[in-house]
Amino acid sequence: MTALPDLLGRAWAALEAGAAPGRSRFSMVYLATSGLDGAPRLRTVVLRRVDRAAGTAGFNTDLRSPKIAEMRAEPRAALLGYDMEAGFQVRLEGSVRLSPQDGAAWAAALPRSRICYRHAWAPGAELAQPEEGDPTEEMTAPEDADSGLPNFCAVDLQIERLEALDLSATGHRRALFLASEGWAGRWLAP
């Protein structure tokens, strides 16, 4: 039988694997925010940081992205990761902390990721032709390596709720863990 601490440990391990270099089934997670019009917004982000001790999970984004304005207006957000092969889901809820031009997160970003922040176009900007969104020669020039930093933002979710859902064939298990309760956890109906 699965114990609550084991399920919590599995959830943190999946998140840590997602934030580690390379690919895992939790490398890309879904971010839910409230749109400025009150409608839900959902998009995929790349998990970049997980700190079990601090209870945080983070990703990077462009400061010009509409999600920045949404998170400034309503800092509560959620992240969702799902491993279809293992039948394992982790849902995180909490409040975001925005760190524009975070030097440590920028230094940890891969050079090919930094190129995205050099673009003249804000994410979601309307283009006349799709090629306008492609990286240009100037953007990929080595001497221009840090020119994207003004558009860069590290986003960290201070996790208040963590839900783990195991859909294994041996029995479905769902649990809720709250930071305010020291992550003790309780079982929920799947």
Q: Residue 45's domain spans which residues?
A: 4-113+150-188
Is 84 inside any structural domain?
Answer: yes
Helix, strand, coil % in the chain, rounded to nearest 5: 25, 35, 35
Is 142 inside any structural domain?
Answer: no
Is 130 inside any structural domain?
Answer: no
pLDDT of residue 137: 65
Q: Is 124 exposed, middle or buried (0-12, 13-18, 19+ CB in 10 A)?
A: exposed
Is 129 inside any structural domain?
Answer: no
pLDDT of residue 170: 84
Is 155 inside any structural domain?
Answer: yes
pLDDT of residue 131: 85
Is 8 inside any structural domain?
Answer: yes
User: What is the block-wise mean pLDDT of the chain (190 residues), using blocks of 10 residues?
Assistant: 91 97 94 97 97 98 97 98 96 98 93 86 91 73 79 98 93 96 96
The Cα–Cα gap between 152 and 61 comes to 6
Cβ of 163: how many Cβ atoms within 10 Å?
19
97 DSSP β-pair partners: 156
Nearest Cα residue to 43 out of 35, 32, 34: 32
Q: Report strand pairing: 56-62 vs 186-188.
A: unpaired
Is 67 inside any structural domain?
Answer: yes
pLDDT of residue 1: 63
pLDDT of residue 140: 65
Give Cβ neighbours of residue 139 (< 8 Å, ≥ 6 apart): 115, 118, 119
Query: Is the pTM above the cut of 0.85?
Result: yes
The Cα–Cα gap between 186 and 162 comes to 11
Number of domains in the chain: 1
Where residue 31 sits, what CATH number does that domain have?
Answer: 2.30.110.10
pLDDT of residue 96: 98
Is 121 inside any structural domain?
Answer: no
pLDDT of residue 54: 98
